[in-house]
Amino acid sequence: MSELRVIISGGGTGGHIFPAVSIANAVKALRPDAKILFVGALGRMEMQRVPAAGYEIKGLPIQGFDRKNLLKNIKVLYKIWQSQRMAKKIIKDFRPQVAVGVGGYASGPTLNMAAARGIPCLLQEQNSYAGVTNKLLAKKAAKICVAYEGMERFFPADKIMMTGNPIRQQLLDTTISHEDAVRSFGFDPTKKTVLIVGGSLGARTLNESVLQHLDHIRQSNVQFIWQTGKYYSAEISERMKGQDVPNLTITDFISDMGAAYKAADLVVSRAGAGSISEFCLLGKPVILVPSPNVAEDHQTKNAMALVNKQAALYVKDVEAAKILLPLAIDTAKDDAKLQSLHENILKMALPNSAEIIAKEVIKLAHSRIEN
């Protein structure tokens, strides 16, 4: 095959961007000569993250509808029209043989325009509850790669491929031992360690759960690594003044998540699809606290897919401040519970997702050339 040209579109959150970059890397590993162009939404996270990963990105002015203030949607409709014109030009100039959509605003106009030109489209849906953009694009897609069972509720069954979610490769490549990982956080490897992580920005509920149980933590003989998120870091250092909790390490951001996961006997986390895929592949016992501030409450649906198979524990956001920390301490001390969570979550892992999706992308590009 002569030249391989791929457009990858979508973003808005890390949960869309990590898989997109992983798919691009996997395509490059199989076809080093591939030309890959990303299309994102101006002002969103992908406009920084994608160039940092070494890929070119074009931005569209698209944004979501304002459900509270309907008058503002006149501007939104104009931006959608503008984005479609720009997407049409990008596709005409770049001439891709295949287009990949990972969810998020930008993938709508990009994949619509690609499909209109007869370019085969592949969708990657990370969540157990399909996003709006992907549901709208499903009719035009040739293949839809999913990470959860039962997705024929949203998509035509004959297009669905169970591939899992691509995750950050460096997490799988971490070679540090559990003992050394624990020591790198200044802790004792003979004691149990819990990692509390609320995403890169942090999660207020998880932070409040810790702040309300400092005595509990102090007396527990369990060690805690607490990622507060950059957004809350100043407020928390203010509230922690004068508090001496030697078995609690506080950080606003963890750059080496591989070491943090290696150190943890138990993780406490939100229930984003990307994080869950990481826990499955690493076999991490986890307590999930789904965020209530996401579309269609999809994090609860993500969490229940694991909970129903005894592969994770679950605490409702509204109950977390009261019960989360005591549950984390009890679970960390229960070796049998940790072992059964570890075994059950490993069974749900879908390895090599990025490579499987990349092979499918290349196959669709071939079909375009042959036709």
pLDDT tens figures, 68-122: 777 788 898 999 999 999 999 999 999 999 999 999 899 999 999 999 999 999 9
Average pLDDT over residues 18-45: 96
> What residues contact residue 75 under an 8 Å CB cut-off, 6+ apart?
none
Q: What is the pLDDT of residue 64?
A: 81
Could you give the CA distance from residue 336 to residue 342 in angstroms, rounded to a whole number? Answer: 10
Could you give the CA distance from residue 239 to residue 116 in angstroms, rounded to a whole number? Answer: 56
Q: What is the pLDDT of residue 200?
A: 60
Dihedral over alpha carbons 93, 105, 4, 49 (to 10 degrees): 100
pLDDT digit string, tens, across residues 252-272: 888 899 999 999 999 999 999
Question: What pTM, to 2 d.p., does this model score?
Answer: 0.88
Q: Which amino acid is at 320?
A: A
- If one compares 170 and 228, the residue with the highest pLDDT of the two is 228
- In whole numbers, what is the pLDDT of the chain averaged over residues? 93
Q: Give exposure, 74-109, as e/b (b: 16+ Cβ within 10 Å).
A: eeeeebbeebbebbbebbeebebbbbbbbbbbbbbb
Q: What is the pLDDT of residue 369?
A: 66
Strands (E) across the chain are located at 5-9, 35-41, 56-60, 98-101, 121-125, 143-146, 160-162, 193-197, 223-227, 248-251, 266-269, 286-288, 313-314
